[in-house]
Amino acid sequence: MPTATRVDGARDGGLTWPDFGHTLASNRVRWGKPQSGVFAVHGVFHVLTWTCGNITDMTITQCNLDGYGAPTIEWARVKAVLDSQLTQAPGTGGPQRHTTWLTTINPDGSPHVMPLGVVRRSGSWYFTSGPATRKSRNLARDPRCVVSVATDPFDLVIEGAADRVTDADELACVAETFVRSGWPAEVAGDALTAEYSAPSAGPAPWYVYRVKPSTVFALGTSEPFGATKFQLDSSY
């Protein structure tokens, strides 16, 4: 049965910021930098995330899918992986390297699956794709998608939608993140360009997409294993 998930550091009737050491009551909020915290109202736990003054109130419910008695996987463990930069270098993921897979919906309703590179910026996952590729054409028609990746603690499946990014400031931030990750991307109009990209990305320029998750499945690959579904319900 789904239950409200309690994140370590939260306390009923108050608000704690484990990662930043700030409280809402103190008003010591560094606007412009992504931050997050957890609070509880009448026993229901929420996650607050904000960037540049936009506050998101997200309620997370969890459901233990394991049929062998393994405990529910804690959301804090899953969020730590989601918040990390999953590189594609050999020996960095499970098994051996991180390969992120994007599933989109073809016009006939069949799935289309391709590997791609993903970077994290301000709490969101971003990826690029050429306008003429099938995945871009699928997303233009239907933004629903699934992103999946195998990590050392667990396999992750993220259901949601991919929104195309056209804002100049956000594109510049994403390009900067790609550069720090080793890909020399730069903004070209409402997309990105570079001297090279993945063979499946198509020719430059490349559209940028932001993943907006609605459901996260975490499937444990080591002790204590487990399988948990997290439903993310947010309002702006």
Answer yes or no: is pLDDT of 192 > 90: yes
CA–CA separation, 96 and 89 (whole Å)? 9
Do 111 and 105 contact (CB within 8 A), yes or no? yes
Q: Residue 105 region, left (φ>0) first, then alpha (ψ -120 to 50), else beta?
A: beta
CA–CA separation, 154 and 203 (whole Å)? 34
Q: How confident is the model at residue 185 (pLDDT cuts 50, 70, 90)?
A: very high
Determine the distance from the C-alpha atom of residue 38 to the mean position of all C-alpha atoms in its chain, rounded to a whole number: 18
Residue whose tokens read 């804002």: 167
Answer yes or no: is pLDDT of 169 > 70: yes
Q: What is the pLDDT of residue 29?
A: 30
Q: What is the pLDDT of residue 88?
A: 55
Q: What is the pLDDT of residue 202?
A: 79
CA–CA separation, 117 and 101 (whole Å)? 9
Domains of the chain: 1-61 (no CATH), 65-230 (2.30.110.10)
Answer yes or no: is pLDDT of 55 > 50: no
| Mean pLDDT in residue range 13-22 | 31
- Backbone torsions φ then ψ of 43, nearest 5 degrees: 85, -5
Burial class from Cβ neighbours inside 10 Å (0-12, 13-18, 19+) for residue 133 reads buried
Range in 20-24, 44-48, 192-196 with the lowest mean pLDDT = 20-24
* % pLDDT > 90, the chain: 48
CA–CA separation, 128 and 122 (whole Å)? 17
Output the CA torsion 190→213→103→151 (10° steps).
110
CB under 8 Å to 174, separation ≥6 — which residues?
Answer: 119, 121, 126, 165, 185, 192, 208
Among 95, 116, 115, 113, residue whose Cα is nearest residue 104: 113
Q: Between the CA of residue 94 and those of 22, 27, 103, what are the distances in Å? A: 35, 41, 20
Q: What is the pLDDT of residue 87?
A: 63
Q: Which two tokens stand for residue 141?
A: 């028609």
CB under 8 Å to 148, separation ≥6 — which residues?
Answer: 100, 101, 103, 155, 156, 157, 158
